[in-house]
Chains A and B, each alone.
Chain A
Amino acid sequence: GNSVTQMEGPVTLSEEAFLTINCTYTATGYPSLFWYVQYPGEGLQLLLKATKADDKGSNKGFEATYRKETTSFHLEKGSVQVSDSAVYFCALTLYGNNRLAFGKGNQVVVIP
């Protein structure tokens, strides 16, 4: 089946630190990959996406590269801010049908 695996546990880091959240996927076809962000008490917002191998999605200083050879889509940001504190979900969809499979999410807490 199609699934997404995110690294375990919350992530706590200091302001201006480097952030990496790992995401790997299993898919029967060629998925589109996404990172969504959820701020407290809110719905999900698309952070970035990539639709084919070697594509790099980027937004608000965040980046992720679609790596087919390692089936990964790791999220990175060079210098986090307190406002980046949120839950981050990696997700995939096949066939462009908007039906998403999500990873478990990672709580990111940035302390001043």
Chain B
Amino acid sequence: GAVVSQHPSWVICKSGTSVKIECRSLDFQATTMFWYRQFPKQSLMLMATSNEGSKATYEQGVEKDKFLINHASLTLSTLTVTSAHPEDSSFYICSAGKTGTTEAFFGQGTRLTVV
């Protein structure tokens, strides 16, 4: 199988604080992971590509200093939303690619609410 686990599934934080979201590939190694953001009733927007052992590649318009990505091992990528504000409230989803397949495997998502 190919399981991706995302944690936490939901989080509420105060404005100005930082929140870390973890994405783990449980039964395979992922040199590349992807972070998406989904607004209510809208599609997924790719935020960045997380590369193991190197800097993440951010999509145009995504603030890299606000959305810190770390991919320290072949099974873990983290997204930290720094100095969160209410407009950062959203559903964040990660995915990981498995060598030899074009399929991407998704985590269950994290609902972030900033109050």
State the A residues within 8 Å of B (CB): 32, 34, 36, 41-46, 49, 51, 89, 93, 96-105, 107
Contacts and interface: CB of A to CB of B under 8 A. Distances in A.
User: Looking at chain B, what size class is its interface with the partner chain?
Assistant: 20 to 34
A42 B109 contact: yes
A104 B95 contact: no
Contact of B97 (A34, A36, A97): A97
Contact of B95 (A51, A89, A98): A98
B75 interface: no
A97 B32 contact: yes
Contacts of A101: 46
Interface stretch (B63-71, B81-89, B99-107): B99-107
Interface of B: 6, 32, 34, 41-44, 46, 49, 93, 95-97, 102-109, 111
Contacts of B46: 99-101
A103 B43 contact: yes
A29 to B, nearest CB: 13
A13 to B, nearest CB: 19
B42 A105 contact: yes
A43 B109 CA distance: 5
Contacts of A44: 44, 93, 95, 106
A104 B106 contact: no
A96 B102 contact: yes
B41 A107 contact: yes
Given A43-B93, A107-B41, A99 B34 contact: yes
Given A44-B44, A98-B102, A102-B44, 20 more contacts: A32-B102, A36-B106, A42-B109, A43-B106, A43-B109, A44-B93, A45-B106, A46-B103, A46-B105, A51-B102, A93-B102, A98-B32, A98-B97, A99-B46, A99-B49, A100-B34, A100-B95, A100-B104, A101-B46, A104-B43
